[in-house]
Amino acid sequence: MGLEAFIAERKQDKDLLVMAHVVCGYPSFEENMQELEIMAEAGVDLVELQFPFSEPSADGPLFVRANEQSLKAGTTVDQCFDFMKLVSERFPFKVLMMGYYNTVFKMGEDVFVQRLKDAGGVGYILPDLPVEESANLHQLSADVGVEPIILMTPTSSDKRLAQLGAASRGMVYVVARKGVTGSKTNMGDDVVALIDRCRQHTDVPMGVGFGITSKADMDFLRGTADLAIVGTAALKTWEESGADGLRRFFAELLA
């Protein structure tokens, strides 16, 4: 099943889905697995597995350190794909690759989409790959049946949104505010207006990310967005209060 159909199916039972995030190999693959078990129990619908990169320039401090520590511990692309395969077979949620374009470029775009497909991934998010540079990768993705997740942002003009909308498949990642991952966003009218603007240019589901930390944020997005994307807040919780904390975090978020 493709990403869009999966989201539609899940949305029959709930009005706001959740996409979570782990950085592969940080703190360790064992702990990643524990985190994912908790996420699955809580009913998370999608998970981004971030392949660590040495120059994660779109990430905030917490993920920057996570990328760095994971690489220091020796995490490789092979391990990330192996882990993805394990995870996609074991859990009911769908899995996406998140990372930076150089990881894809170095292995070759054709190899990447095939390996992603083989590992059970349904799509990928590459924040430093603009749509102008994506034509070949998008074609290859369509050929094997994985989805490129396009990002739409508060600084995108209507003309740009039209361009992005035309390229969007599976779902769109709406960046709720300027900046990098991991700081608080004030969910307000401008986020609603942004999602409305994005919807004018594509029919695929809208995930909203950057700064989602609480049930209040979830309540705010309900009826507006299709998915809430939770990244830094979950990792922060894991680091501060471990498995019990993370269980409580998702229980509260999804209450």
Please give the Cα distance from 213 to 233 (Å, whole number): 5
**Catalytic position from the list 4, 45, 59, 226:** 59
Write the binding mask 85 to 124 for another protein: x where contact by CB under 8 A, - elsewhere: ---------------xxxx-xxx-----------------
Q: What is the DSSP string of 225-253?
A: BSEEE--HHHHHHHHHHHHHHHHHHHHHH
Please give the Cα distance from 92 to 43 (Å, whole number): 9
For another protein, the closer CB: 104 or 246: 104
Question: 244: Cβ–Cβ under 8 A, 6 or more apart, which residues?
Answer: none
User: Is 48 annotated as catalytic?
Assistant: yes
Please give the Cα distance from 51 to 100 (Å, whole number): 8
Q: Which listed residue (1, 9, 76, 142) binds another protein by CB under 8 A?
A: 76
Cα 29 from chain centroid (whole Å): 18
74 binds another protein (CB under 8 A): no
158 binds another protein (CB under 8 A): no
For another protein, the closer CB: 26 or 249: 26
For another protein, the closer CB: 164 or 246: 164
Please give the Cα distance from 138 to 83 (Å, whole number): 24
**Catalytic position from the list 4, 35, 48, 147:** 48
**Minimum distance between the CB of residue 52 and another protein, rounded to whole angstroms?**
8
Question: Which own/partner contact pairs does 136-142 have at CB distance under 8 Å and 24+ positions apart?
Answer: 136/109, 137/104, 137/109, 137/112, 137/113, 138/167, 138/169, 140/109, 140/110, 140/113, 141/113, 141/169, 142/169
Q: Considering only 30-38, 56-64, 111-119, 227-235, which stretch makes contact with another protein by CB under 8 A?
A: 56-64
160 binds another protein (CB under 8 A): yes
Give, for 207, the enclosing helix (H) or strand (E).
strand 206-209
128 binds another protein (CB under 8 A): yes
Least Cα distance to 111 among 87, 83, 86, 146 occurs for 146
Q: According to CB under 8 A, which residues from 184 to 243 bind another protein?
A: none
53 binds another protein (CB under 8 A): yes
151 binds another protein (CB under 8 A): yes
User: Is 240 annotated as catalytic?
Assistant: no
For another protein, the closer CB: 90 or 106: 106
Please give the Cα distance from 187 to 18 (Å, whole number): 16
Measure the CA angle with vertex 170, ends 168 and 174; round to 5°. 60
245 binds another protein (CB under 8 A): no
167 binds another protein (CB under 8 A): no
Q: Which residues are catalytic?
A: 48, 59
Q: Using CB under 8 A, list all residues that contact another protein.
A: 52-58, 60-61, 64-65, 68, 71, 76-77, 100-103, 105-107, 127-130, 132-133, 150-157, 160, 164, 175, 178-180
